[in-house]
């Protein structure tokens, strides 16, 4: 997806609106265009990140990443790869985990979306985070930008 095309369209729209005014209005519009150029790009990335999260929440497996190539984002479906299960020695451990209420609610919602228990969701998330780097997706930045 070419960010320059969207940003150029926004700039053209602002210039067209300013064209109905006088020279002072056109000069003010040009200053606004320069001021919002970077902000508009970040806002567009925010929107793409939110869209990717929303779509990912509706998928039965896998998720959607927003990946940047230069300044151009791409939406990519990433198939679910199950982490290799830890060797089962027949023993389990119990821990107490204190979470902020908002995080607990988010974890419960994520587990419900995937149709699994909170415990299974947490075990899977922790397994992925401590998996050797060879099993991860390489040198890619995942997530979304916030301003």
Distance from C-alpha of 103 to C-alpha of 114, rounded to nearest angstrom: 17
From first CA to last CA, the distance across the chain in angstroms is: 21
C-alpha distances in angstroms, 136 versus 42, 69, 142?
Answer: 27, 19, 11
User: Do the beta carbons of residue 83 and residue 131 sit within 8 Å?
Assistant: yes
In a domain, 58, yes or no: yes
In a domain, 66, yes or no: yes
In a domain, 146, yes or no: no
The tokens 């998928």 sit on which residue?
Answer: 59
Closest CA to 30 of 48, 15, 47, 50: 15
In a domain, 145, yes or no: no
In a domain, 141, yes or no: no
In a domain, 59, yes or no: yes
In a domain, 147, yes or no: no
Domain count, the chain: 1
Half-sphere exposure of 1 (CA within 13 A, CB side): 14
pLDDT tens per residue across all 147 residues of the chain: 777 788 888 888 888 888 888 888 888 888 888 888 778 888 888 888 888 888 888 888 888 888 887 778 888 888 876 555 555 566 677 788 888 888 888 888 888 888 888 888 888 888 877 866 544 444 455 666 655
DSSP-derived 3-state class of residue 97: coil
pLDDT of residue 85: 53
pTM of the model: 0.48
User: Do the beta carbons of residue 107 and residue 8 sit within 8 Å?
Assistant: no
In a domain, 63, yes or no: yes
pLDDT of residue 135: 43
pLDDT of residue 1: 72
Which residues span the domain enclosing 120?
Answer: 3-135
pLDDT of residue 34: 83
Phi and psi torsions of 73, nearest 5°: -80, 155
Question: Angle at CA 124, nearest 5°, toward 119 and 125?
Answer: 100
């Amino acid at each position: 997806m070419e960010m320059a095309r969207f940003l150029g369209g926004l700039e053209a729209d602002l210039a067209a609106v300013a064209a109905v005014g006088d020279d002072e209005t056109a000069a003010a519009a040009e200053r606004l265009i320069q001021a919002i150029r970077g902000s508009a790009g970040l806002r567009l990335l925010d929107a793409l990140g939110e869209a990717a999260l929303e779509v990912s929440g509706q998928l039965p497996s896998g998720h959607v990443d927003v990946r940047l190539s230069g300044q151009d984002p791409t939406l990519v479906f990433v198939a679910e790869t199950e982490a290799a299960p830890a060797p089962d020695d027949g023993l389990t451990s119990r821990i107490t985990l204190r979470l902020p209420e908002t995080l607990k609610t988010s974890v419960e919602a994520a587990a419900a979306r995937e149709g699994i228990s909170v415990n299974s969701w947490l075990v899977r998330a922790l397994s992925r985070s401590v998996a050797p780097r060879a099993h991860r997706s390489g040198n890619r930045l995942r997530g979304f930008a916030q301003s």
